[in-house]
């Protein structure tokens, strides 16, 4: 491979994005490339992406990670979904779970049979047909055969980066300490050729991965990739994060609690809890936001507040010249559905799948950028849904988001579901049909109609179908151990590692 034009790969920036990239590249490419990660201990990382979604299980498996070891190192607990408080209206809650609800027919999702059941007097909640949801409500968990219980993790993102660093370095990835003073470019092609550090040392490379977070040092500041701003749909632009001590055993779900200018997260790990307030500075100032967060905490505060400023949106060109952005450098969507680490993972896998054998084709770059943009748009629409479909009109913030025009792609999904109960997904869209159904019904949409195949069942057949699913869910949940007991036995972390 001495003639391969990308044998020197430089990852710029550490944190979760940098070390996820380093671990995956080291594991996949091995001796094919010299991989170096450049970071400075003097530059902090965001480090608040503590809630994840199920694809991370597969990513860890690809890296050959022992799950129990990883969970001990990151103080992780399991996660079965997200509880949304005060979104549909103040005082009301619903749950967006992983996995599926009921049993789908090849012509129609389970919601159509449930809707038909309502017409025939079966008034049990839609929630009763979802194993992950009922297990989360009972705070129970266990690994089931054939991946019978879909799960993710609630983890310490900073500890995850440390864990991945150790894996990456075992695979030969080299870490270079230093602050970047100058980014050097080829005068003709515009490609990045090297990084000049404050120490005077020069780091050369053939391919550069920009993991510099919101600074976007290479993709934005150096190459000028334009930012597509979505704050007119997602007006929250601030967050405050801090950690508190745990006052109860960890539950297997994240909470997203809406307030009058945004929302608050609560993410229980094994020995502490991650907390944060997301808000729009147009409707709430920073001092009042901090006061609101501190007034709605459980346990003792363990860390100083970490204040973050951001804009929802994405760069249209994630791959420009010989630079590819990963993570916050390429864009940001608020962590309402825990997609931040997932988007890092998706970019890494997309890069590895599209690495050229020779020089990069412009079509490669275009395909990479189109795929990433489509994925961001689909996740964007799902997050906007939580704000747009609501009964809340109790503040200027909620009146704004309820009245705003939304992208045509989302307007079509909402109208289609409201009229027919159907959800259609395109390509490799992240959120499954069940996710859209749970959130749309949780936010207050009840379809006017449903698929006629549901009417094919006799009353007795429908009763057996619905009753059998509920009974199976209830029986399985009853057989699961308490989540905290399972975590302690499976991957209990030493108390000293909780800080």
d(CA 99, CA 77) in angstroms, rounded, equals 18
d(CA 126, CA 307) in angstroms, rounded, equals 39
Instruction: Answer with the one of 328, 360, 392 that is the final residue of a domain.
Output: 360
Residue 442 lies in a domain: no
Q: How many independent structural domains does the chain possess?
A: 2
Task: Provide the residue-wise pLDDT of the chain in tens; the chain has 499 residues.
Answer: 457 889 999 999 999 999 999 999 999 998 889 999 999 887 666 556 699 999 999 999 999 999 999 999 999 999 999 999 999 999 999 999 998 999 999 999 999 999 999 999 999 999 999 999 999 999 999 999 988 999 999 999 999 999 999 999 999 999 999 999 999 999 999 999 999 999 999 999 999 999 999 999 999 999 999 999 999 999 999 999 999 999 999 999 999 999 999 999 999 999 999 999 999 999 999 999 999 999 999 999 999 999 999 999 999 999 999 999 999 999 999 999 999 999 999 999 999 999 988 888 899 999 999 999 999 999 999 999 999 999 999 999 999 999 999 999 999 999 999 999 999 988 789 999 999 999 999 999 999 999 999 999 999 999 999 999 999 999 999 999 999 999 999 999 776 444 4
Beta strands in 348-445 (DSSP E): none
Contacts of 282 (CB under 8 A, 6+ apart): 235, 237, 397
The dihedrals phi and psi of 68, each to the nearest 5 degrees, come to -65, -40
Same domain, 341 and 278: no
Q: Tokens 């390429």 identify what position?
A: 330
Contacts of 136 (CB under 8 A, 6+ apart): 80, 81, 83, 95, 97, 251, 252, 253
Same domain, 172 and 227: yes
Q: What is the DSSP pairing of strand 323-325 with strand 202-204? A: unpaired
Cβ–Cβ under 8 Å, residues 76 and 57 = no
Same domain, 352 and 250: no
Same domain, 210 and 170: yes
Same domain, 248 and 297: yes
Residue 264 lies in a domain: yes
Residue 434 lies in a domain: no
HSE-up (13 A, CA, CB side) for residue 332: 24
Same domain, 161 and 260: no
Query: For residue 162, what is the domain's CATH number?
Result: 3.50.50.60
Which letter does DSSP use for residue 32 in this model? G
Domain that holds residue 212: 8-50+156-232+312-360
Neighbours of 205 (CB within 10 A): 24
Burial class (CB in 10 A: 0-12, 13-18, 19+), 21: buried
Same domain, 161 and 298: no
d(CA 22, CA 16) in angstroms, rounded, equals 10
Same domain, 292 and 325: no
Same domain, 165 and 220: yes
Instruction: Answer with the one of 331, 360, 389 that is the final residue of a domain.
Output: 360
What is the reported pTM? 0.95
Residue 462 lies in a domain: no
Q: What is the DSSP pairing of strand 8-12 with strand 34-39? A: parallel
Same domain, 168 and 214: yes
Same domain, 317 and 300: no
Same domain, 247 and 339: no
């Amino acid at each position: 491979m001495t003639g391969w034009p990308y044998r020197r790969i430089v990852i710029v920036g550490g944190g979760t994005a940098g070390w996820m990239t380093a671990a995956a590249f080291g594991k996949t490419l091995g001796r094919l490339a010299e991989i170096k990660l450049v970071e400075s201990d003097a530059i902090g990382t965001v480090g608040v992406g503590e809630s994840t979604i199920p694809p991370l299980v597969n990513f860890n498996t690809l890296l050959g990670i022992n799950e129990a070891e990883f969970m001990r190192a990151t103080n992780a607990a399991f996660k079965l979904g997200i509880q949304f408080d005060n979104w549909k209206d103040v005082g009301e809650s619903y749950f967006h779970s992983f996995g599926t609800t009921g049993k789908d027919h090849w012509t129609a999702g389970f919601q159509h049979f449930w809707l038909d059941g309502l017409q025939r007097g079966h008034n049990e909640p839609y929630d009763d047909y979802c194993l992950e949801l009922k297990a989360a409500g009972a705070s129970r968990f266990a690994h089931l055969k054939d991946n019978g219980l879909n799960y993710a993790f609630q983890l310490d993102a900073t500890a995850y980066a440390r864990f991945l660093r150790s894996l990456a370095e075992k695979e030969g990835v080299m870490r270079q300490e230093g602050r970047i003073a100058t980014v050097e470019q080829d005068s003709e092609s515009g490609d990045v050729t090297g990084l000049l550090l404050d120490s005077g040392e020069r780091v050369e490379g053939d391919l550069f991965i920009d993991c510099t977070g919101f600074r976007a040092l290479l993709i934005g500041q150096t190459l000028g990739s334009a930012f597509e701003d979505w704050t007119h749909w997602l007006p929250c632009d601030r967050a405050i994060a801090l950690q508190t001590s745990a006052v109860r055993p960890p539950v297997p779900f994240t909470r997203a609690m809406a307030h009058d200018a945004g929302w608050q997260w609560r993410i229980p790990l094994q020995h502490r809890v991650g907390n944060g307030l997301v808000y729009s500075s147009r409707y709430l100032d920073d001092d009042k936001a901090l006061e609101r967060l501190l007034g709605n905490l459980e346990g003792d505060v363990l860390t100083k507040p970490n204040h973050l400023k951001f804009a929802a949106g994405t760069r249209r060109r994630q791959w420009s010249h010989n630079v590819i952005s990963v993570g916050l450098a390429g864009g940001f969507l608020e962590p309402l559905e825990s997609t931040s680490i997932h988007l890092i993972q998706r970019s890494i896998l997309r890069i590895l799948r599209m690495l050229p054998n020779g020089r990069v084709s412009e079509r490669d770059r275009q395909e990479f950028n189109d795929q990433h943009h489509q994925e961001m748009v689909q996740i964007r629409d799902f997050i906007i849904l939580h704000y747009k479909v609501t009964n809340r009109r109790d503040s200027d913030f909620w009146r704004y988001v309820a009245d705003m025009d939304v992208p045509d792609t989302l307007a079509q999904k909402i109208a289609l579901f409201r009229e027919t109960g159907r959800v259609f997904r395109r390509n490799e869209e992240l959120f499954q049909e069940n996710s859209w159904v749970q959130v749309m019904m949780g936010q207050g949409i009840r379809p006017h109609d449903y698929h006629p195949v549901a009417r094919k069942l006799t009353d007795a057949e429908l009763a057996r179908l619905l009753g059998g699913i509920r009974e199976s869910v209830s029986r399985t949940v009853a057989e699961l151990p308490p989540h905290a007991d399972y975590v302690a036995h499976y991957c209990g972390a030493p108390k000293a590692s909780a800080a």
